[in-house]
Amino acid sequence: MAYSHPEGRGRDPLSPRKRPRQKRSSATVEVILDGAARILEREGLERFNTNAVAAVAGVSVGSLYQYFPGKDALMAALVRRDAGRFSAEVAAAVVERPGEDWRAAVSRLIAVAVGHQLDFPNLARILDFEEARLPLDDETEAAERSILSAIVGVLRRGGGALAHLDLSQAAADLLRLTRALVDAEGRERAPDRESLSRRLERAVFGYLTWDAGAESACPNLNAT
């Protein structure tokens, strides 16, 4: 029999019912989220419901409802956890190593983007869709600004080599370019991580090191 739980009036349906305050409670929440992620990766949205998540996680549905008032709250928690992990990976990737060229940090960012999408491609694709569906705009925009700021910080290390670029625009373009290629590869039946990484590096470094003077020297490039 399905377990139902009435949501109280005025409650934000995307907020956790309660915050875990002890290690045991935090561990239970993580187990629930891991179970939800496994269902989404292996079986998709069709099998995603609180009863199935509780069964896979090995907890009672009542225990699940102690923390999450419904499916959307559970999905929002997955989106937030995924965004937090990605932000942490980006922050680690952009840390400057003594004596390294700025290109090394760009390569690490590319590796982070590829790994984040292709480690669990079905889950990543679903979370991207659900992030857009759920009313998480403020959180999404804040995360986007943080990532763009990290990319701009790396590009500043290029100094004169990247002086021809508007760094903010370049960061936005690179983020869009990376997402487009990574998302497309993630939809393939057998994603090729190594090939994608090579193609992304060619595209990204080609963009960054393009000689701006070449456009004026080649009339065909300016043709409309």
Which amino acid is present at 52? Answer: A
d(CA 39, CA 41): 6
Q: Which domains does the chain have, with CATH numbers?
A: 23-69 (1.10.10.60), 78-209 (1.10.357.10)
| Tens of pLDDT, residues 153-167 | 999 999 999 999 999
| Tens of pLDDT, residues 56-77 | 999 999 999 999 999 999 999 9
CA neighbor of 163 nearest in space, from 199, 204, 213, 201 = 213
How much is the pLDDT for 22?
A: 66
Q: Inform me whether the pLDDT recorded for 1 exceeds 50.
A: no
Q: Inform me whether the pLDDT recorded for 125 exceeds 60.
A: yes
Q: Inform me whether the pLDDT recorded for 108 exceeds 90.
A: yes
